[in-house]
Copies of this chain bind each other. A is one copy, B any other.
Amino acid sequence: MEAIIINTGNELLTGETINTNASWIASKLYNIGIKTKRIIVIGDDCEELKKAIYWSISEKPDILIVTGGLGPTHDDKTIECLSKALKTPVKVNAEAYKMIADKYRELNLPLTPERTKMAKIPVNAKPIENPVGVAPGVELKIGKTTIYVLPGVPKEMTKMMEKHIIPRLRLETRDMRSIMKTVTVEGIPESSIAPILKRIQDEYHGIEVKSHPIGSEQKPKLKIVFRLIEKGSLKPETIVDSAIKKLWELLGEAYSS
């Protein structure tokens, strides 16, 4: 299964906010065997969101996660723009309305237009309960792609992913296993280890082998990551362990003489 993530918010484009939402989501998806193919970050801008949605949907990912722009303010326009992009009208959803009305009743606050706005979702969508804040998320299907729209506030987004989305996706990926193992090699420049890594990459088809310099060519220290997402029955951990063993063997051959 494959996912695309769209994060919206001008604060992500000015550098004020580091996009930890994207890495958090990507990591949770990877852990249950879903690869993120692309992350797109745009501002609070309808045209940009429409383009990002077209560009994402044209790839037919299984999942498209959109974060940000679900709140009560003028710049919270993700639902409006999404509905324009998909040419689906929005209307007040009874279930979403009840979620919001219940929250504000508890707070003893009236249902102003800014508040009821959060209950308007595309007609073919279902609301997702927000256990932390107010604005409900949205789930809808376009072709084979399930779109999840979630708030940008990290503590709301993460709770909604953990409570509603990850468990549901896990049912579909339950026989997938994802493995990621890291080894550290010191004293060999990345440019010297390159042909060895290429050989392992070619030999262990499906595994991904990648070096990250944490030192420099001059004072080399490399983090080498081995990744594999596979059906559980194929014992992905054994394959990765064998590739790591091969790395030490090849390094031994190259540097013992």
User: Measuring CB to CB, which residues of chain A are less than 8 angstroms from any residue of chain B?
Assistant: 10-20, 22-30, 35-44, 48, 52, 55, 71-75, 103-104, 106-107, 109, 112, 114-115, 132-134, 153, 180, 189-195, 197-198, 201, 208, 210-213, 216-218, 225, 227
Contact = CB atoms under 8 A, between A and B. Distances in A.
A227 B14 contact: yes
26 contacts: A11-B210, A11-B225, A12-B26, A13-B36, A13-B37, A14-B36, A14-B227, A15-B22, A15-B26, A16-B27, A17-B23, A22-B41, A37-B48, A38-B48, A41-B41, A71-B191, A71-B211, A73-B193, A73-B198, A74-B198, A75-B201, A103-B218, A107-B218, A109-B189, A114-B192, A134-B217
Contact of A74 (B43, B153, B197): B197
Given A72-B194, A213-B153, A26 B39 contact: no
Contacts of A40: 38-41
Which of A42, A112, A213: most chain B CB closer than 10 A?
A213
B217 A133 contact: yes
A192 B109 CA distance: 9
Contacts of A28: 15
Contacts of A36: 13-15
Q: How many copies does the complex hold?
A: 2
B73 A211 contact: yes
Contacts of A25: 15
Q: 3 smallest A-B Cβ distances: which pairs?
A: A15-B27, A72-B191, A39-B41
Q: Is the interface of A mostly helix, strand, loop or mixed?
A: mixed
Given A14-B26, A15-B30, 14 more contacts: A13-B38, A13-B39, A14-B30, A14-B36, A15-B26, A39-B39, A39-B41, A44-B210, A72-B190, A73-B190, A73-B211, A74-B198, A107-B217, A109-B192
A90 B8 CA distance: 36
A15 B31 CA distance: 10
Contacts of A75: 201, 210
Contact of A22 (B19, B114, B115, B213): B19
Contacts of A192: 109, 112, 114
